[in-house]
Amino acid sequence: MTKPFTILGIESSCDDTAAAIVRGNDVLASFVYGQTELHADFGGVVPEIAARAHAEKIDLCIEEALHQSNTTLADLDAIAVTAGPGLIGGVLSGVMCAKGLSAASGKPLIGVNHLAGHALTPRLTDQCVYPYLMLLVSGGHCQFLIVHGPEKFTRLGGTIDDAPGEAFDKTARLLALPQPGGPSIQQAATQGDAKRFKLPRPLLDRPGCDMSFSGLKTALLRARDAIVAEKSGLPERDRSDLAASFQQAVCDVLTEKSRRALMEYLALSPAEPVLAVAGGVAANTQVRAQLQALCADMDVRFLAPPLALCTDNAAMIAYAGSELFGLGRFDDMSLSARPRWPLDQSAPALLGSGKKGAKA
């Protein structure tokens, strides 16, 4: 049996600076330095602040990951780094750092697509077999991908405007609930009546797997304003009902579009059918429950990797790097940062641009 590769992964495409050491399917260390507080006053990620913080913390993250895993640069087979898509300043910080380390240590350099990192996570955690269907749902991404291999993806559809996490965050702001919005909406929704407000299910009337979430947020704003006008405020009960109705609408859209994506995927007759999720919104208990029920119904295995590996991290980058390295794919010092880098070059460009900048 061949020895598994030991790979350093570096991630800095949005608001998390991360480094990890992965050997085969073992995550030896995964260290994430989040920037939430730095951006808290601005209502979103400020690219310049993010880039500076990445540049300041990236070497500390790498040191920490090496220390936690009890490895040195000499133990590595290669250095994998997110080369896009994402905020250009952050991606550049990671790529420059990885190039420096590669030049100094003589270890091969591998540029990894951040979305490929998310998409390959179920291979890291569950060694699932190609092809599988992946739903990426976070604050910055929303798309269905058939994953055929580490470099081969078919995008079946995605959001044409906001990502669902973004919609959760904006909705929480409208309801004066704390950030991040997903968990607080979920919490408020437990007390609410999901049937009270008739919010739209955008794009369900159109064929295909594309989604839209920005109209939903506008509809919620109107419903909220009607209550505020009538009651001169937003009583707790109404807030919970709005949260529950919103969450139900997002779940219904994701579930119906997942059903359509699964039909397309199952037409390929995959050997071991799997729907895997990644991204912060995959933490939502109702989203999980509805997707799990859908999979049970369609005789498909449902995989939701642990949350720390679903959200932005560097273990996924190291793992994706190891699959590429196994295929003999690596880069040289001409590796450049790519703010846009769609996984499926043949799919039409996505229109939206979320808090992380260009989505793909």
Region binding Zn ion by CB under 5 A among candidate stretches 24-32, 231-239, 308-316, 321-329: 308-316
User: By rule CB under 6 A, what count of residues binds ligand KG4?
Assistant: 20
Applying CB under 6 A, does 162 fall inside the site for ligand KG4? no
Residue closer to ligand KG4 by CB (options 99, 217) is 217
Residue 332 burial (CB < 10 Å; 0-12/13-18/19+)?
Answer: exposed
Region binding Zn ion by CB under 5 A among candidate stretches 87-95, 142-150, 178-186, 304-312: 304-312
Residue closer to Zn ion by CB (options 166, 312) is 312
Residue closer to ligand KG4 by CB (options 87, 110) is 87
Between CA 154 and CA 251 the distance in angstroms is 23
Residues ≥6 apart with Cβ < 8 Å to 251: 284, 286, 287, 290
When CB distances are held under 5 to 8 angstroms depending on the partner's kind, the choice from ligand KG4, Zn ion, none that residue 94 binds is: none
Residues 186-215 contacting ligand KG4, CB under 6 A: 186
Residues 12-31 contacting ligand KG4, CB under 6 A: 14
Contact track, ligand KG4, 79-118, x by CB under 6 A? ----------------------------------------
Q: Which residue is nearest to Zn ion (CB)?
A: 312
Element (H, E) at 53: helix 47-68
23 and 70 Cβ atoms separated by less than 8 Å: no
167 and 251 Cβ atoms separated by less than 8 Å: no
Tell the smallest beta-carbon distance from residue 167 to ligand KG4 (Å). Answer: 8
Among 24, 44, 180, 200, binds ligand KG4 (CB under 6 A): 180
Among 94, 157, 182, 342, binds ligand KG4 (CB under 6 A): 182
Among 77, 312, 323, 331, binds ligand KG4 (CB under 6 A): 312
Residues ≥6 apart with Cβ < 8 Å to 271: 129
Which of 279, 324, 81, 320 lies closest to 165, judged by CA? 279
Residue type, position 26, single letter: D
50 and 35 Cβ atoms separated by less than 8 Å: yes
DSSP string across 166-225:
HHHHHHHHHTTPPSSHHHHHHHHHTTS-TTSS----TTTTSSSS-B--HHHHHHHHHHHH
| Radius of gyration over every alpha carbon of the chain, rounded to an integer in angstroms | 20
- As given in the structure block, the two tokens for residue 108 are 């091969």
Among 181, 273, 321, 352, binds ligand KG4 (CB under 6 A): 181
The separation between CA 43 and the C-alpha centre of its own chain, rounded to angstroms, equals 19
Region binding ligand KG4 by CB under 6 A among candidate stretches 30-38, 180-188, 264-272, 314-322: 180-188
Applying CB under 6 A, does 157 fall inside the site for ligand KG4? no
CA dihedral 99, 101, 103, 108 (to 10 degrees): -80
Tell the smallest beta-carbon distance from residue 122 to ligand KG4 (Å). Answer: 15
Tell the smallest beta-carbon distance from residue 314 to ligand KG4 (Å). Answer: 13
Residue closer to Zn ion by CB (options 15, 312) is 312
Tell the smallest beta-carbon distance from residue 117 to Zn ion (Å). Answer: 8
As beta bridge partners, residue 90 has: none
Can you give the binding site for ligand KG4, defined by CB under 6 A?
Answer: 14, 138-140, 165-166, 168-169, 180-183, 186, 279-281, 283-284, 311-312
